Structure 1
Amino acid sequence: MITTVTLNAAIDKTYYVDDFRLGQVSRAAKMFSFPGGKGVNVARVAHLLEGPVTATGFVGGHNGRFIEEQLTRQGIPNDFVAVEGESRLCLNIVDAAGQSTELLEPGPDINAAHAEAMKRKLRSLAERSRIVTLSGSLPKGLPASYYAELVAVVHEAGALAFLDASGDALVQGLAAKPFLIKPNEQEVEKLLGKKLERESDLYGSIHQLMRDGIRCVVVSLGAEGSVAGCDGQLYRIRAPRIEAVNTVGCGDSFVAGMAVAVHRGDSIVQALKLATASGTANALMPEAGNVRTEDVGRFLNEVSIESII
């Protein structure tokens, strides 16, 4: 099984507004509303890719019940920890040029009892899982070290931890040595404390992170694809060229593809191909964290991967 963890689950609303301007009334041409948060997006795409997945995390209030009900309706098993307060709303406004403007609520406060309940829940799920993905921001009340604590729980249960976080949560999470991390260029610079002037500067940085105990490091380069290091080998991945509709959720779809492929025992190259194809397919969808399997299949043959010495 694959377990996805979303500590700050949300209802994601995407508004398509042809003439969006600050300080004026705008009318949406269309709107989509889905259970969201990065880990929930991972769960949905993993489910669409026919991976056995269960979603967990914190939910609260009416919004939390909506998240659980909609996931169940979509056929995605879920087992959340209920907390006081309301799960957040995340608004994404897409204008006629395809530019996104996001408004993200903070979400509920998490107390010590909730944090311990989440560890117990995760331990139970991780014992039945091969892979656990930990994605997104930490809600108020949790220390920056909390992801490191959860990675330790995952390891104790015998599962692989995929960590897709940023800032101090990622920095401190590295201490627990997750199997996979997925920073962007700016986050790699923060992790290593140095400026990267050119793409080739990433190579030594990724090798350093692998030497530090991270078996798989994927650095996103946006539309240019990614550079990955897995078990000591570097790869340059180039994504198919497309006209993107909505890029929110592409990273989550990448993580989902990677998790599904590793879960079923694919080679690292095949896993990187499925991950890249899934991330690209998400960009064609108006909603975040969604793919058409026919798009994923088509893009699998168009992903280019070369080994870097």
Structure 2
Amino acid sequence: MRDTITTVTLNAAIDKTYFVPALVKGTVMRATEVLSMAGGKGVNVARVLHQLGHPDVVATGFAAGHNGRYLVDRIRESGIGADFVVANGESRLCLNFIDGVDDSSTEVLEPGPEVEAEHLAALKNKIGGLAERSAVVVLSGSLPRGAPPSLYAELIELVRAAGALPFLDASGAPLALGLSAMPAFIKPNEEEILKLLAGNGDGDLDLREGALALARQGIRNVVVTLGGEGAAAFVDGVAYRVAIPKLKAVNTVGCGDAFVAGYAYGSSRGWSAEACLRHAAAAGCANALSAVAGDVKKDDFDMLLPRISIGEWLK
């Protein structure tokens, strides 16, 4: 039985969170606290999987320059395997400013390095090898400069050919093109799925009909996250609605990544759709209680798990 879950972050980042008393444009602000950690959507997924107790997690993708070496070191220090392709330039910084007045979050994201044909070839070779020993390969986040929009579709086909389940969490053209390769799982939020439907000429469909249309294309797990309203899903043709408890969120950045981690955790074990959705929702909610992205405390997760409700998604 394959135990490894591999996460792919093509545009990994150092996530820095600044807590300021008030975010005021055009002024000098002094942070009261600064948190720094390895990030990017796939790295967040890997960290949450590790925190949930999955024994074998490997993070891969591109890492560049001093920032890239820092990323890899931090990932390994946290107990996660790191097997990245070295690219030119510098991996990006992603800055998140938490306003002490209203706890709102303002993000500034750098573009990251530009990859070339040799880096893309090395990445495909790396992912092919990792997929051969993985139960699930999670492909997450934006593409780096120089990568074709069809890259996720190519990687999904490669992962499936190696016998692993390809999960896709992306948006825009990489998501739209990736769907053609039939990933086993997608997780757009409400805004992303409505944009996707509009791009397909299906803008008149409601959320449920749109998710059903994607499921009918052959995607086994179609999950739409709805923020504080929980999630909705079609899994193997069955419609589900996920209700979550009301929370006083500390920081919602990374909740979607934690959700993906929880679902991958259950899927790698062959759990039912209800169990996967409950695990995923509890992880996403637990992340909201942490000050940093992609961080789930086990006590929070254990407290939230029995408070997740799974029902039928009615019209």
Deviation at 1:61, TM superposition (A): 0.6
Distance in 1 between residues matched to 2:25 and 2:155, nearest whole Å: 40
Matched, 1:61 2:65: yes
Deviation at 1:294, TM superposition (A): 1.1
Q: Match of 2:112?
A: 107
1:57-104 alpha-carbon deviations (Å, 9 max, x no partner): 000111001011111111111100001110000000010211111010
Q: Is the 8 A contact 2:232 2:313 kept in 1?
A: no
The answer to whether structure 1 residue 137 and structure 2 residue 131 are counterparts is no
Structure 2 SS opposite 1:42: helix
1:71 has 2:75 as partner: yes
Give the corresponding residue for 1:46.
49
Which residue among 113, 121, 130 is the counterpart of 2:126?
Answer: 121
Instruction: Please provide the CA RMSD for this pair.
Output: 1.0
Q: Does 1:83 align with 2:87?
A: yes
1:15 corresponding residue in structure 2: 18
SS at match of 1:301: helix
Whole-angstrom CA distance in 2 between matches of 1:229 and 1:250: 20
Alignment of 1:225-244 (within 5 A): 225-244=230-249
- 1:139 partner letter: P
Contact 1:189/1:196 (CA < 8 Å) preserved in 2?
no
Task: State how far apart, in whole Å, the 1-side matches of 2:255 and 2:112 are.
Answer: 22
Instruction: Give runs of ≥4 in structure 1 deviating > 3 Å.
Output: 194-197
**Range moving further from structure 2, 116-125 or 182-191:** 182-191
1:93 maps onto 2:93 in alignment: no
What CA deviation, in whole Å up to 9, does each residue of 1:163-222 have, x standing for no partner?
00000010000000000111112221222224468xxx2221111111111111111111
Equivalences for 1:206-245 in 2 at 5 Å? 206-245=211-250
Tell me if 1:150 matches 2:155.
yes
Structure 1 position 249, deviation (Å):
0.4
User: SS where residue 282 of structure 1 aligns?
Assistant: helix
Residue 23 of structure 1 aligns to which amino acid in structure 2?
Answer: G
Q: TM-score, normalised by structure 1?
A: 0.97
User: In the alignment, residue 110 of structure 2 is paired with which amino acid?
Assistant: E
Q: What corresponds to 1:247 in structure 2?
A: 252
Contact 1:206 1:217 in 2 (8 A): yes
Q: Deviations over 1:8-48 (max 9, x none)?
A: 00000001111111111011111100000000000000001
Q: TM-score, normalised by structure 2?
A: 0.95
Query: Residues of 1 paired with 2:61 and 2:42: CA distance?
Result: 8
> Percent of aligned pairs with the same residue?
54
d(CA) in 2 for partners of 1:148, 1:95: 38
What stretches of structure 1 of length at least 5 have no aligned partner?
A: none
Can you give the 5+ residue segments of structure 2 that lack an aligned partner in the other structure? none
CA contact 1:4–1:55 (8 Å) conserved in 2: yes
Q: Does the 8 Å CA contact 1:4/1:42 hold for their aligned counterparts?
A: yes
2:93/2:109 contact within 8 Å kept: yes
- Match status 1:178 vs 2:183: yes
Instruction: Give deviations 1:252-306, integer Å, cap 9, x for gaps.
Output: 0000011111112221101100100000000010111001011111111000110
Contact between 1:35 and 1:70, CA under 8 Å: does it hold in 2? yes
How far, CA to CA, are the matches of 1:186 and 1:281 in structure 2?
22
Q: How far is the alpha carbon of 1:137 from its aligned partner?
A: 0.3
